[in-house]
Structure 1
Amino acid sequence: MNVLAVGAHFDDIELGCGGALAKHVASGDNVCAYVATLSGFTNPQHKVIRSNETAFCEGQKAMKILGVELICGDFKTLELEFNEELNQELIKIVEEKKIDKVYTHWMGDIHHDHQAVAKSSMHSCRHVPNMLMYRSNWYHSTLDFKGNFYIDITDFWDKKEKALLSHRSELQRTAYKWIDFFKNEAENAGQRIGVKYAECYEVVKWLEK
């Protein structure tokens, strides 16, 4: 199976579906991850919080831990749009890699860049038979995340956590709260389906053969 994970920034994919990707790799699937932006950003006072170089180095390390091929876009952080330029990049990957399954951002995510990636994934991956949407933050939306698909990541939580810890600059910014939050999410999802840790997704489409 050829699997593609799509994210707006370095760390989104690891947060949303890192366990599933590690599981795919362990099963022998071909897995690649496309990160659309350079992922560096500054705060409103124009202080650099994470440079593009730091984001890339941390993301590269994380993907290496997961065993995933990294494909980098060069869009600017917070300036990502649902347009033909982004669509063409995704279509090219889908066609060249002969993608069978896509993991992407949830359409209801309030983050501007996340929304753009979700919309582009819907458009550009419309011929891919399997698509799941993940959550990669903790912010509220006016829409409800309809988590209705679970993947047991009990044997892969440690690898997911190790990949997340690669993003030191982002974890320092959030006082390492991402780790506890997503571990709790994985435990809650696992509790609902009778395993220790799970990732929960919203199904866009699923082909059972």
Structure 2
Amino acid sequence: MKILAIGAHFDDVELGCGGALAAHAARGDEVYVFVATVSGFTNQYDQSVRSSDVARAEAEEAMKVLGVKQMFCGDFKTLEVEFVDSLNIQILRLVEQLAIEQVYAHWTGDIHHDHQAVARASLHSCRHVPRLLMYRSNWYHSTLDFRGNFYVDITDHWDAKEQAIRAHQSEMERTGAKWISFFRNEAENAGQRIGVRYAEVYEVVKWLQS
């Protein structure tokens, strides 16, 4: 099976669906990732927090950990992604050229500006892909409810997910490694609901069972 995970920034797919991607790779599926932005950004005081070069280097290391076959990168600036045709075309071309059969995309209810735009573009450009799941990749509240109704057992792949997240050393330093504790707790809670140690939960957009 050919899998495409779509994220706005380097680190989004690791946080949102890293365990599932590692599981796919372990089963022999072809796993691809598309990241829309260069992912460098500055804070509210115009101080550089992470350079684009560092972000990409960290992501490339994370992709190796997860077993991703190839990562494709867009050139949008962080916090400047819009639901525009240039983004749609980039995703649609990958879907068609790689003959993608299943997609992991941002949740459309995410409050992050870039995440919302990429989510909308994913739904638009992947409209002919038979399987599409939405993931969460941050811990912020939304006015919408994430309807998690599809679970993936990542018990055997949590270590790979954590290692991939830790590959983003610049973000680990910025957040004090809070990502690890938060997403481990999320995975434990999801796993408890379905009787496994660790799981990822998704909202189904569509799922064709053959």
Which residue of 2 is the match for residue 36 of structure 1?
A: 36
Q: Secondary structure at the match of 2:144?
A: coil
For residue 50 of structure 1, what is the amino acid of its counterpart? R
For residue 204 of structure 1, what is the amino acid of its counterpart? V
Q: Deviations over 1:46-102 (max 9, x none)?
A: 110000010000001000111102111111000000000000000000000000000
Deviation at 1:172, TM superposition (A): 1.1
Which residue of 2 is the match for residue 65 of structure 1?
A: 65
CA distance in 2 between partners of 1:150 and 1:62 (Å): 23
Which residue of 1 is the match for residue 4 of structure 2?
A: 4
Q: Secondary structure at the match of 1:186?
A: helix
For residue 38 of structure 1, what is the amino acid of its counterpart? V
For residue 148 of structure 1, what is the amino acid of its counterpart? N
Which residue of 2 is the match for residue 198 of structure 1?
A: 199
- Which blocks of at least 5 consecutive residues in structure 2 are unaligned? none
Q: What does residue range 67-146 of structure 1 map to in structure 2 within 5 Å?
A: 67-68=67-68, 69-146=70-147
TM-score with structure 1 length normalisation? 0.99
- Which blocks of at least 5 consecutive residues in structure 1 are unaligned? none
Deviation at 1:8, TM superposition (A): 0.2
Which residue of 2 is the match for residue 19 of structure 1?
A: 19
Which residue of 1 is the match for residue 209 of structure 2?
A: 208
Q: Secondary structure at the match of 2:155?
A: coil
- RMSD (CA atoms): 0.4
Deviation at 1:44, TM superposition (A): 1.1
CA distance in 1 between partners of 2:179 and 2:17 (Å): 14
CA distance in 2 between partners of 1:72 and 1:64 (Å): 16
Aligned residues: 209
1:157 aligns with 2:154: no
Which deviates more, 168-177 or 12-21? 168-177
Q: Deviations over 1:5-24 (max 9, x none)?
A: 00000000000000000000
CA distance in 2 between partners of 1:74 and 1:83 (Å): 13
For residue 200 of structure 2, what is the amino acid of its counterpart? E
Q: Secondary structure at the match of 1:156?
A: helix
CA distance in 1 between partners of 2:11 and 2:59 (Å): 7
CA distance in 2 between partners of 1:156 and 1:118 (Å): 25
CA distance in 2 between partners of 1:78 and 1:123 (Å): 20
CA distance in 2 between partners of 1:105 and 1:19 (Å): 15
CA distance in 1 between partners of 2:65 and 2:187 (Å): 19
Deviation at 1:171, TM superposition (A): 1.4
CA distance in 2 between partners of 1:171 and 1:83 (Å): 32
Q: What does residue range 151-190 of structure 1 map to in structure 2 within 5 Å?
A: 151-190=152-191
